[in-house]
Every structure is written in C-alpha cells, then in structure tokens.
Amino acid sequence: MSVSPLYRRKPTLGVSACLLGSEVRYNGGHKASRLCLDQLSEYFDFVPYCPEVAIGLGTPREPIRLVGDPGAPRAVGTVHPDQDHTDALAAYGEQVAAELPAISGYIVMQQSPSCGLERVKVYQDNGHPSEPKGRGIFTRVLTERHPNLPIEEEGRLNDPVLRENFLTRVFTYSQWQMLCESGITRGKLIEFHARHKYLLMATDPLRYKRLGRLLGDLSGQDLDELANHYIAELMTALKRCATRGTHSNVLQHLSGYLKGALSAEEKQEMQQLISQYRKGIIPLVVPLTLLKHHFRQHPDRYIAQQVYLQPHPENLSPVSYTHLTLPTKA
C-alpha cells in the first residue's frame, strides 16, 4: 500500500545554534544534540539561530537569567543585573518572526532565558525561582507571532510520545505550507482535510467533528479566512497527544474498510490486537502493522491517502516501535 506523499522535499527546522554544535553558549561551549545531528539531519534542513549572539553578546559572556513577573519577565545579567537585555531579545524575535523563512518547525534549547519554551526559571527578589515557570524572551515572541508553528524543546524530544507528536505536527505543517504555495482552493482544502481525517480523529475528536462541520458548507465563506481558521484549529488539535482510546477508535474505523475482504479468523485477530492495545498489553505498532499488511493485500484508494498510517518517515519512529514485529500464529 502506498503512503501519503509527505516526502517530496525536506522540511526545514529552525534550531537553537548550540544544539547543532556551534560554540555560542555563555561559556564558549555548545550543547550538540545527537538527536538533531545523527537522526533528524537526514530528513530535515536546519536553520540555526542564537538570539544572544545575534544581539551582540560575546562568547564567552556573562550569563543572563529571567527575573520578575513570570508572565512578563526581564532578561538580565546574573552578575550585573542592571544590564537588561529583554528589549533587544524581543526585538530580535520580532525581526526573525517577520523574516522567517519557510520553516516547518523549531527546536529550542530547554531552560534557556532566551530560547526556552517551558519551565524556564524566573528568579524572584528572594533569589529563588517562581512557580509557575516562564518562557524565554525570544521564543515567547516567536510563539505569539507564529502560533501554528510546531515548537519543542530538544530535551523533551527524548520522550518518544512527545517526539512522535512533534514530528507529526512538523510534517503536517510542511504539507500545509506546500498546499499554500501551490495556491489553495476549496477543493484542495477539502482534499487536505480528507487525508488528515483519521490523524485528527486520533488527537482531538471534538475538533475533528467541528472542522468537519466547518467544511461541510463552503458556500459564501471567504477562502483565506476559512483556510486561516482551519489550519489554526488543526495545529491546535495536533498539539494533543493521542490516547489509547482515541487510537483504538481510529483503528476500528480503519478496519471497517476491510470487513468485506478479511476472513472471520483475520477479523478476530485484528479485533484481538486492537483490544490488547487498548488495554496497554501491546504497543500501537502491532495492530497498526497488521492493518497496513491487510491494506497492502486489499488496497483501498481512500485509505492509501491517510496520513495517520504514516505521518512521517518510518525511520523517525521511536526505536522501541520500529524493532517490534507482529506475533506469529502457533
């Protein structure tokens, strides 16, 4: 069975420069990411950014940290707190956001006062960090100006579920960018939604229904406004990680396309694996692999286009998934 046409070109990722081995950190070092350099580099082009160097801070340099209100922190020197770099970092964020090339995602350095996405320490007058944590100045601007852009911290990508979610969002957003470049039409929008139908159902069933109703009647709707609303809803939905329950629901829907092609024994085996997956006994790859096998034997043009079955190159799947095989019959 053919899979969705995701790989006509490499998507481009923005990446914190230190993660690519550039010696731009405050101490003159780097934080080279094996994930980026050894695994992702085959499938993505990278555009490096270092906001602190870009605003003129040297290497090595005095470290900076966030202080004050976690919702609107200031970035100041750790030794000379009178040196406030907040406005410069925010201005650089605005510049990058305005000039951003066609990148499909962004990987940032965790805990960085300029680049961190989640849980960045914001120090208070007593010298202790606050709860809740803050967000790096540069990344905060980027997320505000490009809310649909998939952004994740490199450290969090060590979690296979978060990595899977991020990669799925990146390749989906890349497909959307290609659609917009080709000239979006109502027909192309409906076709795009159809290909992503089951992926959306697995991550956010409520938005799946909402977007289905949105596209159910396109008469009288402004196409640009509709497209902007659609992609905002889709990318918000895909931020949610699918659960065993939602995956099982999708697997049941997909297996329904095979009801006239499989024997009673094959149907029973498929249902048993879906049930075992739902209960947490086996990983998703087991029923999914069997499902793909059956669709190779009994091709279905509509199912062959479904992004859910291969949301990104197979070699990017977590190691624990790619080395599993289907149980053999006794």
Whether the Cβ atoms of residue 200 and residue 138 lie closer than 8 Å to each other? no
Measuring CA to CA, how many Å separate 31 from each of 45, 150, 225, 253, 256? 19, 21, 41, 44, 48
Q: What is the pLDDT along the chain (330 residues), one digit of tens a residue?
A: 333 455 567 999 999 999 999 999 999 999 999 999 999 999 999 999 999 999 999 999 999 999 999 999 999 999 999 999 999 999 999 999 999 888 999 999 999 999 999 999 999 999 899 888 899 999 999 999 999 999 999 999 999 999 999 999 999 999 999 999 999 999 999 999 999 999 999 999 999 999 999 998 888 889 999 999 999 999 999 999 999 999 999 999 999 999 999 999 999 999 999 999 999 999 999 999 999 999 999 999 999 999 999 999 988 876 433 333 344 343
* Secondary structure element (H or E) that encloses residue 45, with its range: strand 45-49
- pTM across the whole model: 0.91
Query: In terms of Cα–Cα distance, which of 203, 176, 177, 181 is closest to 191?
Result: 176
d(CA 272, CA 278): 10
Provide the 3-class DSSP secondary structure of residue 33. coil
Provide the 3-class DSSP secondary structure of residue 48. strand
Beta partners for residue 45, in sequence order: 12
Radius of gyration of the CA atoms of the chain, in A: 22
Q: What is the side-by-side order of every strand in the sheet holding 122-123?
A: 74-77, 64-67, 122-123
Beta partners for residue 106, in sequence order: 14, 151
Q: Percent helix, strand, coil in the chain (nearest 5)?
A: 50, 10, 40
Length of the chain: 330
